Amino acid sequence: MLVTGASGFVGRWVAHFLTRAGAELYLPARDCAAAKKTFLEYDIEGKIFKADLLDTDRFQRSIGEIAPVVTFNLAGYGVDRSERSEQLAYQINTLLPEKICQAVAEIKAHDKWRGPRLVHAGTAMEYGAMSGDLREDSPTRATTLYGRSKLAGTEAVVSVCTRKSLAAVTARLFAIYGPGESTERLLPTLIAAAAKRAGHIELTAGRHKRDFTYVEDVAGALLRLGVSDCQPGDIVNVATGTLTPVRSFVQAASKLLGITEDRLSFGSLTTRPEEMDHDPVNIGRLLELTGWRPETNLNDGLRRTLTERRTGEAGRSSGQTRREVCELF
């Protein structure tokens, strides 16, 4: 199996579970030394090879040489708000998945494999300014560079899969949290603020709602989709189906971190215009394909995140999840 973005937030958990399942992993990396550190921390084993994902033609050839049974494309550009290059966004989020899909479609099918050949990570930001019921066939009104480029990538994957009759699925991911998040995101910001033990924490009013999904559940969903009976070009929402106000998320995390209420300056920051306003995420297709939904509630997910941060044992506190996912393969 091939995993792009394996040293990223979600990718490391997918690679971790696949390692535990005994998969023979191929792990492309721009910086192999840095990737090795992450892989060691998360108990990931596989063949690491240097690859420039911007050189899409060369990487396409590499996929043909490896001939993976399943490819998990978890590479992305623009989640970090410092990543603002339009050119790079469309190269990584649009052109790369199209080239990967084309390469996978050219590989001779493995006789014993009946699942999807490609699992591609999309994003809720592809829906953009939509409200109401977010079904996968809903119109899309992406408003950000990240959302527009990822939507174009999903459309490219669907187009190739439809033409080539390639079994593949795009998983639209929502608000993910957990061990391995980058430092500028909400939960790591609160963790850093707790360590300082003083000072106000600037926050939005926190009235907007998100579907917060624990990262191990997201990885588990991707692997479950990887053995599902999907149709060529399927799109599936990966979320809990429950919306939580951002304010409630902050308060729950702060309580566990020992941050007092008087330090939380709600309303001191302006809510970003791209924040979505919709009904609880429709996860009917996820349930139909996998018979499963993310099960980690918010308090348990926060506790596990903080426990793993304190112990430094990433990936070792999730025995039940790990066993369930490994049994899929």
Q: Render each residue's pLDDT in the chain as its tens digit; 329 residues.
A: 999 999 999 999 999 999 999 999 999 999 999 999 999 999 999 999 999 999 999 999 999 999 999 999 999 999 887 888 999 999 999 999 999 999 999 998 777 888 999 999 999 999 999 999 999 999 999 999 999 999 999 999 999 999 999 999 999 999 999 999 999 999 999 999 999 988 999 999 999 999 999 999 999 999 999 999 999 999 999 999 999 999 999 999 999 999 999 999 999 999 999 999 999 999 999 999 999 999 999 999 999 999 987 776 555 545 566 667 667 76
Say which DSSP state 230 is in: P
pLDDT of residue 322: 62
Q: What's the token pair of residue 224?
A: 């479950």
pLDDT of residue 197: 86
Contact 201, 264 (CB under 8 A): yes
Task: Sheet containing 168-173: give its strands across.
Answer: 47-50, 26-29, 2-4, 71-73, 118-123, 168-173, 232-238
pLDDT of residue 317: 43
Contact 204, 269 (CB under 8 A): yes
> What number of other Cβ atoms are within 10 A of residue 201's Cβ?
19
Which residue(s) pair with 235 in the sheet?
Answer: 170
User: What residue ranges define each of the domains in the chain, with the CATH number in brackets?
Assistant: 2-326 (3.40.50.720)
Backbone torsion region of residue 22, taken as left when φ is above 0, otherwise alpha when ψ lies between -120 and 50, otherwise beta: left
